[in-house]
Chain A
Amino acid sequence: MAAVEPELTIDLRGDGRVRRRRLVNRLAEAIAILSAAAAVGLLVWVVWSVAERGADLISWSFLTSDLPIPFSPAVGGIAPLIIGSVILVGIAALIAVPIGVLIALFLEEFAGNWLRVPIQLAIDLMVGLPSVIIAVFIFSALVYGHAQNGLAGSLALSIVMLPLVTRATQEVLRLVPSSQREGALALGASRWRTVVGVILPASLGGILTGSVLAVARAFGETAPLLFVTGIFGRTVELNPHNAIPNMPVQIFIWSESPDPIDHKRAWATALVLMTLVLIMSLVARIALNWTRRNTTR
């Protein structure tokens, strides 16, 4: 007895609803792409503007000479500014990174609830603290009645950097699975041995990234340095007890000047600063990828 097969018509083309769905999909995609393009475009525009206006003055001598004498025809250079910024941020990093990491370790690994909540709150508030407030505070505490000095500037910068380092470190510490901690504890390791031996090494990449990003940010902070190490000499200054020349403040000063050559100098310095920050951000990203590749497989 032969089986009778029913007629089967399967239409996989889809009806009107499908078409509308596809349209909505395409529209959403388009909007997303446009937004991304706008953001990238903005960045490109800024970089291009600065590069365009500042490129003229860039030369080896510009980067290595001392600051120009006012109203003299020589273009001068910004070597003191570059070195100064490096010193200021360097000292700030030496303060902020270790303390920031330690605070993060304390919050994630050791603190009980009653301590963690207020400290975490304090760190979160510090992120939002306007840098000008920090500047005024440091000024009144360390500079008023004394001279301007680089150390105070570094201190102010470190206050800006600290919550960034702590937050980034916390994020990385949280990424370490609790199974790692369990494994270490089950081997008879104490809490701090577990942290030092297993958790920190696993998080180093992320900590590095967070630190580099905080450093990049600190290079550009103007307000904290304005009152605190804003009046400085023309030559390279290595002693942090004195006021240290730095890029952001000088950019500000030059931009206020009536002399058009100063404006050019400001753009050039801005270009150098921006390039430095971009390179550091890039380094941070590469370090992060390297860490990811090494810890997850």
Chain B
Amino acid sequence: MKPIPASLATAVLLLAPPLSAGARVPPVASYRMEVSYDATEHTLAGKSAVTFVNRTSRPFPDLCFHLYLNAWRTDRSTWLKESEEGLGRGRGRGSAAEWFGWSSINRLTLADGTDLTTGLKYVSPDDGNPEDRTVACVPLPRPVAPGETLPFSLDWAAKFPRTVARTGWKDDFVMGAQWFPKLAKATDAGWNVHQFHAGTEFFADFGDYDVALTLPKELKGKVGASGVQKEETDVPAGVRVRFVAEDVHDFAWTASPRFEISRETFRAPGLPDVEIVLLLQPDHRRVKERYLAATRAALLDYGTRYTPYPYPQVTVVDPPWGAASGGMEYPTLFTGGASWLSPAGTGSPEGVTVHEFGHQIFYGLLASNEFEEAHLDEGFNTYAAEVTMGAAFGDPPLLKRVFGIPVVFRGIRLPRPEFGSQRYLDWQVSSRSDATSRPSFRMLDGAAIRANAYSKTALTLASAERTLGAETFGKILKTYATRFSFRHPTAADFHSVVREIGGEDADALFREAWDTSNTFDYAVGSVSTKRISPPVGWIGEGTAVRFQEKESVPKGPASYESVVVVRRMGEAVWPVDVEMAFEGGHVFRTVWDGKDRWVRYRATGPKLLSARVDPDRKLLLDVNVLNNGMTIEEDARAAGQWSMRLRFWAQNALEFFALLGFVGSAR
């Protein structure tokens, strides 16, 4: 496919009226783009008219751009090096040319025609890697003053790799994500710009996007993108589609001739109507309604609990098998992921759909810095998605794939949110290398990134909800989401909301969890109960003093002295409930602030039966719940029962092995 002539496209772009600001937020970085895609070579040729409005308090002497596709330019890039070192989560890549991509700015001119191209320099602010080309900066003839608008244009070209990190192509499917030269985030401290790392995501300013894509004609009617489609016209080179997205901080698109597109309108009292556009693979027709139901559930639940989804449309993309594009969010568009065989009730594709929709709030609207504080998006959304999934679809059953065929164990339910966050607990026991508040790209490895950004944050929020109460916690999250929509909140902003609504003690919970990698582990150290006997020894006064011997059988009603020791085995502190159960159904409960290393409780009265710390499982961060309780009496039945089951299965397993030698038939 031939690209549109550069001179013509530049003229069209620069003569076009200035981009209008969206209704919700003053734009900072807006893009009008004319791009053609060669589906054979997987290359892009683009012209961007960019309008940068300096809404910070400081002048900007330069411009900095992300060229994300250069993460796969050579194997010396920071992304690929980190990925090889285990910091990412990408699956195996080959070394053939198809796995590599690139992005370059061919010309950068200001509105007055000043050509800045030669001043472009690649920089590596995070690791100094001279071979990384994911960030480029160029000095300006004069700084952009606060409040000033700087229009400029870019001629650029790029090549998609075979899909990696949810961008690129697979067969006739293409996912255009992190695909165009994009301005870094302007802040009062200057450009907040980071290289593309294997374990981190993105940060950008809000703006308005008006993007025209020229694609092969077989993709006509088979395109999805951020925003809303405004035009689709046949052109000599194929089909030209134009999408407009306002008040967003990124733009993604996808196309495949195999997409089956369906639409429906979400309507709910008190929430704005939203058009749901589903781009489905033909072999996933059976899960169409499940995708839509999950999206509806997420629109309703997130809209009610946090803040309504404010855009007129959301596009749900079902990527094809093997495309490595599933489960990712972009403004007003996200990718799900379904299996050819997805048994009902197993939470797939519902789980990924709800989760990725949820990013529309925590990533799309709040738009925190995912390089430096990834947990504010991933962790908050993991928590929120679990809440929505629990409310809408319940706990999923255990599912295993046996030789590719799903086998569902419906009798075994995996409780939310605990079970989905096991990897944090595993990591906490095996590594605990980093605190959550550390920037992801500075963490030890991919396990640390995932455990902190996702599971630990989600478990912290769920634990806080159970400790502070659902009402208080709900108010905290709703205030945070509504107050900071479109404002790029930091962790400090969240802490300020927590202090405002829950007080300093509430905030201390989050600081304890996120500012250290300390372990939470409370345990019942010991329990004892003994019948109170009359004192042995000299009793009475003066001449009435006498020696009382020990009674072999105490007389009178039985009364017991019970002692319970509760211990803090980990370094981290969290207030916990302590429960003691006595004969006769008596239960005593108290709250321990959990600060000392141990506390001893004494009780007199009925016989103690058992003691438990955190009996309601409020502290989901506790790495070992098996030491959370102790009984007075020994009861070997459960262990005996499970040992017997184990022995039986061991016998059968040995029978399987026997066939190796016997060559009998008992398989």
A and B from one assembly?
A: no
B-side residues, CB < 8 A to A, are none
A-side residues, CB < 8 A to B, are none
